[in-house]
A = this chain, B = another copy of it.
Amino acid sequence: MKLSVLVGERFKEKPSDCVVDSHAFMVRGGYIKAVANGIYSSYMPLRRITKKIENILREEMDRIDGQEVQFPVVMPASLWQESGRYDSIDNSLCRFKDRNGAPMVLGMTHEEAAVQLVREYGATYNRYPFMIYQIQTKFRDEARPRAGLIRVREFTMKDAYSFHTSQEDLERYYAECYKAYQRIFARAGIPETVVVQSDSGMMGGAVSHEYMLLTPIGEDSIAICSECDYRANMEAAESIIENERDAESAPLEAVHTPDAHTIEAVCEYLGSSPLKSVKAVVYQKNMDDSYVIVFLRGDLDVNETKLTNFLGENIHPAVITEESGIAAGFIGPVGLDAACKPLVLFDNSLKGTNNMVCGANKTDYHNKGLDMERDCPDAEYHDFAKILDGGICPKCGKHTITVNRGIEVGNIFQLGTKYTKTMDMTYTDENGEIHYPIMGCYGIGVGRLAASVCEAHHDDYGPIWPITIAPWQVELCCMKSTDEPTHAEADKLYDALKKAGVEVLYDDRKVSAGVMFSDADLLGVPIRVIVSPRNLKENVCEIVTRDKSVSKKVPADETVAAVKELIAELTAVYENAANAY
């Protein structure tokens, strides 16, 4: 490919709407163009990257006996009504009517379609286990698309679905897929990806893991132990608190705390500490708007995922009305007799505590000297708090938790029988008994993976693509293209490289070295071969890697062989990383 005819423009200025590097480089380097909010077209360089990623995905899915299939983008609503998700998912599920008025959806994931495809096939036990996967366009009507390809509305995803006759078999296969994912990220150039436990959210099921690329621009928070191998999504990380109890409990006493609505204001007013305060957080259930009050220690925050999972239904921050009888800002566990009859929950962080400050359920009054054991003898305690940076590791018990930001580049779920039950997929076992198959599902977004690799591997001037997914392996730069012998030599080398099966982008434009190299930096091709009048005089070629780790001159007639050797070396780094799994 000659750069002179490559469709797409490259430019210097960072677009004002690009807040992350991968987004800026992909716009500046002629990889993508926005079509609508969160919807992009790809130019050839990105399409070449995504095709390579897709090939890695195929190879690794085939390696664990996956069968590539294809589900439709447009599905009848009836399929999603069967599973119940047509009603349970918010308007990120795109719903519309076809020409005949039939309700349809755009696929944001394909559990329903997978079950529909194999419902009859999977009717007897001896056809299990099996796994089917596809690489297909999906649409998720995100409220807030952001960061270029990191969070979009339309995207290409590899989604895989496995079917089993026992939990043990699912776990065996899940472990295989767990490793396949590690291989995929290693081969795609981000072996540093970490695996974390996660909450399964709307997918249903119990055990699930997310593959996280740690980066400050990530949208997810991950708790990582610096001492052991504990890693968990914030939403799933257990919060462990060593509660302290003073030797003596003061008596419960109401004090006037005018206008002190917040923990901070009360602490300042009374000279107390958040660690000795009780925080009240109020929610309402989505279903009936009934109130839920969670009490927890003043320095902690509620983890809404844990609360939702405990309740088994969705919630939203409360609108506290006068009729509710709740004294907003002054809520406490003693004497809470609100008209709205709230459900009252206690976090583990309050268990056994004493001499605490809490609301007195009366405007402008707080209680001092709360002793949970003495004053709230019937309280039950559960884990509703977010894990803290510097908190206790649930696995090794040390104060070694750090909270990090990350991009979720993949996820795997043990779905259980959620979809097979609702959609009535059954099989007959050896004894003629009927069971629901157990499912797993496994997803990776192709565009997000490309953008994540770019986030992980770039410098100030552009992406540094790993050779395994780079748009081209080699960029051939002809310096001083106006010099006839140099141009002829570069042309010859271009042909020789192509003939040797090397993917080469040839910059034969009559432009300055500055333009040529800044464009090359934006395109991020890992190996650069430079033909110039000076090199020609010395009868050498310069070979430089995009990451500057290699920079050498080789005799002109050994260039092709040297390039092929370097390609093999660079590739081996990623393949070896993958083979460690």
Binding site for B on A (CB under 8 A): 5-9, 33, 35-36, 39-44, 46-48, 50-51, 65, 67-76, 79, 91-92, 94, 96-99, 102, 104, 106, 113, 116-118, 120-121, 127, 130, 132, 134, 136-137, 139, 141, 143, 153-154
A44-B68, A48-B68, A73-B73 given. 20 additional CB < 8 A pairs?
A5-B127, A7-B69, A7-B121, A7-B130, A9-B121, A33-B117, A35-B71, A35-B76, A36-B104, A39-B74, A41-B69, A41-B71, A41-B117, A44-B132, A47-B134, A51-B68, A72-B154, A74-B154, A98-B141, A99-B143
Count copies of this chain in the complex. Answer: 2
Closest chain B residue to A50 by CB distance? B70
**Which residues of the partner chain B approach A33 to less than 8 Å between Cβ atoms?**
116-117
Q: Which of B9, B41, B127, B143 contacts A113 (CB 8 A)?
A: B41
Q: Which of B70, B76, B91 contacts A47 (CB 8 A)?
A: B70
Would B136 and A137 count as touching, CB distance under 8 A? yes
Complex Cα distance, B73 from A40, in Å, reads: 10
**Which residues of the partner chain B approach A97 to less than 8 Å between Cβ atoms?**
96
Interface centre among A99, A134, A137, by most B CB within 10 Å? A99
**Which residues of the partner chain B approach A50 to less than 8 Å between Cβ atoms?**
70
Would A47 and B68 count as touching, CB distance under 8 A? yes
**Which residues of the partner chain B approach A8 to less than 8 Å between Cβ atoms?**
121
Complex Cα distance, B72 from A153, in Å, reads: 10
Would A99 and B92 count as touching, CB distance under 8 A? yes
Q: Which of B51, B102, B139 contacts A74 (CB 8 A)?
A: B139
Would B98 and A154 count as touching, CB distance under 8 A? no
Within the complex, the shortest CB–CB distance from A145 to chain B, in Å, comes to 11
Given known pairs A36-B75, A99-B91, A137-B137, the reply for A5 and B65 (CB within 8 Å) is yes
Would A72 and B40 count as touching, CB distance under 8 A? yes
Closest chain B residue to A73 by CB distance? B137
Would A42 and B70 count as touching, CB distance under 8 A? yes
3 smallest A-B Cβ distances: which pairs? Answer: A96-B96, A44-B67, A36-B76
Q: Which of B5, B41, B98 contacts A116 (CB 8 A)?
A: B41
**Which residues of the partner chain B approach A96 to less than 8 Å between Cβ atoms?**
94, 96-97
Return 15 A-B CB contacts under 8 Å, by A number.
A5-B130, A9-B121, A36-B75, A36-B76, A36-B104, A41-B70, A41-B72, A41-B116, A43-B69, A46-B70, A51-B68, A74-B153, A98-B141, A98-B153, A99-B141
Closest chain B residue to A75 by CB distance? B35
**Which residues of the partner chain B approach A91 to less than 8 Å between Cβ atoms?**
99
Given known pairs A7-B132, A35-B116, A91-B99, the reply for A42 and B67 (CB within 8 Å) is no
Closest chain B residue to A163 by CB distance? B7
Complex Cα distance, B151 from A457, in Å, reads: 46
Given known pairs A47-B70, A94-B98, A99-B141, the reply for A120 and B9 (CB within 8 Å) is yes
